[in-house]
């Protein structure tokens, strides 16, 4: 059944800062509402936005936050644990780089860091329930991303073992989300072991087809991988419970392609762009998602190497609003339809 997508909404992570109006949840939400956004996706690692532990332990606190945002004119679309989810599974090769995602007291202590990350996800499940949300977004983390291009060749059994271990780490978290009736949506993203359709399927199978394993769809990451982002919807629409509206472009040259040549963003073939400035066919994406009955939020995520976040946000709300399709409840040629019954249908078929 076709449904109308909700929006526009905005992911706050890239906009939070130390200067007003970006330094508190209320002030940034007023800014977003003034731009035309109706929903906000909240990064739970940013204490300027939310106290995640308090949200998990106190529904009263969540009701107070919801009430303040309602007065401003926005609602919470989902909570995000991208950074904490990343730390559920970290290969030692990335320990130093990802340590910055954890509290300073846990750095150089991978075991304690992982335990902290798991606790964060457990709190996120309860917090989502207290806010009355039905979906939550995170990253899967990665144990074998460093073997993505297999040279030397991957040892036999490595991939299966990695996904079994990944599933083992996530199953208690998935069960916690299931207990509170919230879907856990993994953003399919390079750098994660869940980075395309096949890896999503591997993980789903490793979890025993857990009903809470779902997907955040972001076409920008598929442009950079040169994956067919429209057919991806055909394959996985039943799992797509969240949607990041983010643009990108891919312009390969004789010097650089998908892997980027270790270049800065401005010199890469694949680059993220503000909405409308890239190559993503959003008209077709909104059509497909509406056709398949996606009724979640369209959430702008801003990442661009040229345009300022403020301009990207100003342009993003009307861009999304213009792409949302108010689905029809009638067929366009109903005006010409006649009555129908079994006798009439048999006559049309020449069956008397």
CA distance 90 to 321: 38
Q: Based on C-alpha coordinates, what's the Rg of the chain?
A: 22
CA distance 166 to 278: 34
Reply yes or no on whether the pLDDT at 236 is more than 80: yes
Reply yes or no on whether the pLDDT at 53 is more than 80: yes
Q: What share of the chain is helix, strand, coil (3-state, %, to 5)?
A: 45, 15, 40
Reply yes or no on whether the pLDDT at 340 is more than 80: no
Annotate 115-149 with b (16+ C-beta within 10 A) or e (fewer). ebbbebbebbbbbbbbbebebbbbbbbbbbbebee
Q: What are phi and psi of 77, to 5 degrees?
A: -85, -45
> For position 303, what pLDDT does the model report?
97
Residue carrying structure tokens 């300073």? 104
Q: What is the pLDDT of residues 146-179, one digit of tens each?
A: 999 999 999 999 999 999 999 999 999 999 999 9
Q: What is the pLDDT of residues 202-221, one digit of tens each?
A: 999 999 999 999 999 999 99
More confident residue, 337 or 146: 146
Reply yes or no on whether the pLDDT at 345 is more than 90: no
Could you give the angle at the alpha carbon of 349 between the alpha carbons of 345 and 352, nearest 5°? 80
Q: What is the pLDDT of residues 67-121, one digit of tens each?
A: 999 999 999 999 999 999 999 999 999 999 999 999 999 999 999 999 999 999 9
> For position 295, what pLDDT does the model report?
93
Question: How many CA atoms lie less than 13 Å away from 90 in the CB half-sphere?
Answer: 28
Reply yes or no on whether the pLDDT at 4 is more than 90: yes
> For position 344, what pLDDT does the model report?
83
Integer angstrom CA distances of residue 76 from 100, 131, 350: 27, 8, 57
CA distance 273 to 239: 26
Average pLDDT in the chain: 96
Q: What are phi and psi of 265, to 5 degrees?
A: -55, -40
Integer angstrom CA distances of residue 19 from 27, 33, 34, 120: 10, 18, 18, 27
Contact between residue 247 and residue 302 where contact means Cβ atoms under 8 Å apart: no
Q: Which domains does the chain have, with CATH numbers?
A: 6-348 (3.20.20.150)
């Amino acid at each position: 059944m076709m449904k109308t997508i909700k929006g526009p909404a905005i992911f706050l992570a890239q906009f939070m800062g130390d200067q007003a109006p970006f330094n508190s949840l209320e002030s940034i939400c007023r800014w977003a509402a003034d731009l035309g956004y109706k929903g906000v996706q909240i990064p739970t690692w940013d204490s300027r936005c939310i106290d995640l532990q308090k949200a998990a332990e106190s529904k009263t606190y969540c009701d107070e936050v919801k009430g303040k945002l309602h007065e401003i004119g926005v609602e919470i679309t989902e909570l995000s644990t991208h950074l904490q989810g990343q730390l559920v599974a970290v290969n030692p090769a990335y320990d130093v780089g990802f340590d910055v995602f954890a509290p300073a007291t846990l750095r150089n202590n991978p075991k304690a860091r992982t335990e902290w990350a798991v606790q964060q996800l457990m709190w996120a499940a309860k917090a989502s329930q207290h806010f009355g949300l039905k979906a939550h977004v995170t990253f899967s983390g990665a144990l074998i991303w460093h073997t993505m291009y297999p040279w030397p060749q991957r040892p036999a059994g490595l991939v299966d073992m990695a996904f079994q271990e990944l599933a083992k780490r996530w199953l208690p978290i998935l069960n916690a989300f299931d207990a509170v009736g919230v879907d856990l949506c993994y953003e399919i993203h390079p750098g994660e072991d869940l980075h395309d359709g096949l890896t999503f399927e591997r993980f789903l199978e490793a979890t025993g087809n857990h009903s809470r394993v779902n997907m955040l769809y972001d076409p920008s990451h598929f442009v950079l991988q040169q994956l067919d982002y429209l057919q991806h919807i055909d394959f996985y629409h039943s799992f797509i419970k969240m949607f990041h509206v983010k643009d990108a472009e891919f312009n390969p040259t004789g010097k650089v392609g998908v892997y980027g040549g270790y270049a800065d963003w401005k010199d890469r073939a694949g680059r993220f762009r503000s909405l409308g400035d890239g190559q993503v066919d959003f008209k077709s994406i909104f059509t497909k998602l509406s056709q398949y009955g996606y009724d979640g939020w369209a959430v702008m995520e801003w990442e661009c190497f040229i345009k300022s976040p403020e301009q990207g946000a100003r342009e993003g709300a009307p861009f999304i609003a213009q792409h949302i399709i108010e689905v029809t409840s009638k067929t366009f040629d109903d005006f010409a339809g006649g009555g129908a019954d079994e006798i009439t249908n048999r006559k049309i078929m020449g069956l008397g």
